[in-house]
Amino acid sequence: MLVDTFGRTATDLRVSLTDRCNLRCSYCMPPEGLDWLPKPELLTDDEVVRLVRVGVERLGITEVRYTGGEPLLRRGLAGIVRRTAELRPRPQISITTNGIGLDRLAAPLAEAGLDRVNVSLDTLDPEVFRRLAHRDRLGDVLAGLAAAAAAGLAPVKVNAVLMRGVNDHEAVPLLRYCLDRGYRLRFIEQMPLDAQHGWTRAGMVTADEILARLGEEFTLTPGDPAARGSAPAETYLVDGGPGTVGVIGSVTRPFCGACDRVRLTADGQVRNCLFATEESDLRTALRGGASDEELAERWRAAVRGKRAGHGIDDPSFLQPARPMSAIGG
């Protein structure tokens, strides 16, 4: 098992398949994009599947989430999903995506074994979308959401980041949109993971602010804290249910004490936290002929060093050098 010195066991593996993305969301990267990882540094499809297999068969991983960048840009995605679904014990398989291209890929991915999707949707206003993402693709995202629901990739979860003075007035419309379609909306506090290092606490819309705005239009009933487990979202019944909304207060309401996640970057580095400043290299050992058990022991050693928390409130906190697109969310 992947156990750290604080007694937490990692069972949820987030695997980045690429650092590339077809949007330029301002809380992630600059409009001109970034210098992408050279292709030889990226794990091949076979290498991704092998490391996931090691995680599932030897280290107790029960959930695998494929991320990016934008994972739908990975040509071998359906094959990777299919081979992951063939593992025993079979893990739960999901992706986090911006939804562009999901309208044509949802059905093939469901057939390959994908269980569900998380789709980023920060606005319902085409002009605001263009300002945030520097691309005119809102229609593609909405079509992708509908296709995911039609393909049975349920529950379809929607992730929204509110930015002060940009889209913070859309909390209520976003929730109404998702409730009407049976999607599960989760608001996420903006985190210091942008490539520009422009994040400020003052500019962040907090969980308290989000709940206050929603509370003006809806009756929110907190879910059972015991049922939350290690889930990052605090969940609320909306107007008595069955619809719900989640709030992930990564900064102001950290949930590090129950964290069960570990991350693998597209170039084969283990990261214990989104905000980690250290990584552990599995790619070099993998390509150097290491056995499965040797890879597993390197992975165990990496997780043993996991820190107690992300430390954003500590005066010594340093934003990680890698932006979100290169880490995998």
DSSP state of 28: T
Q: What is the pLDDT of residues 102-131, one digit of tens each?
A: 999 999 999 999 999 999 999 999 999 999
Mean pLDDT value across the chain: 91
When pLDDT is averaged across residues 146-164 and rounded to a whole number, the result is 96
- The pLDDT assigned to 229 comes to 75
Q: What is the pLDDT of residues 224-236, one digit of tens each?
A: 887 777 788 999 9
- Percent over 70 (pLDDT), the chain: 92
Q: What is the C-alpha to C-alpha distance for residues 323 and 205, in angstroms, rounded to an integer?
A: 20
Instruction: Report residue 196's pLDDT band, with 50, 70 and 90 as the boundaries.
Output: low
**pLDDT tops 80 at residue 42:** yes
- The pLDDT assigned to 296 comes to 98
| Cis preceding-peptide flag for 155 (omega within 30 of 0) | yes
- The pLDDT assigned to 275 comes to 77
Q: What is the C-alpha to C-alpha distance for residues 319 and 195, in angstroms, rounded to an integer?
A: 10
Q: What is the pLDDT of residues 309-320, one digit of tens each?
A: 876 665 556 666
- The pLDDT assigned to 327 comes to 76
Q: Among the residues of 216-261, which ranges form H helices?
A: 225-228
For 165, the 3-state DSSP assignment is: coil
CA distances from 64 to 13, 91, 244, 286 (A): 5, 6, 24, 20
Q: State the CB neighbour count (10 A cutoff) for residue 104.
A: 11
Q: Bigger pLDDT: 49 or 69?
A: 49
**pLDDT tops 70 at residue 197:** no
The predicted model scores a pTM of 0.91
Which of 63-72, 101-110, 155-164, 196-205 bottoms out in mean pLDDT, i.e. has the lowest? Answer: 196-205
- The pLDDT assigned to 195 comes to 59
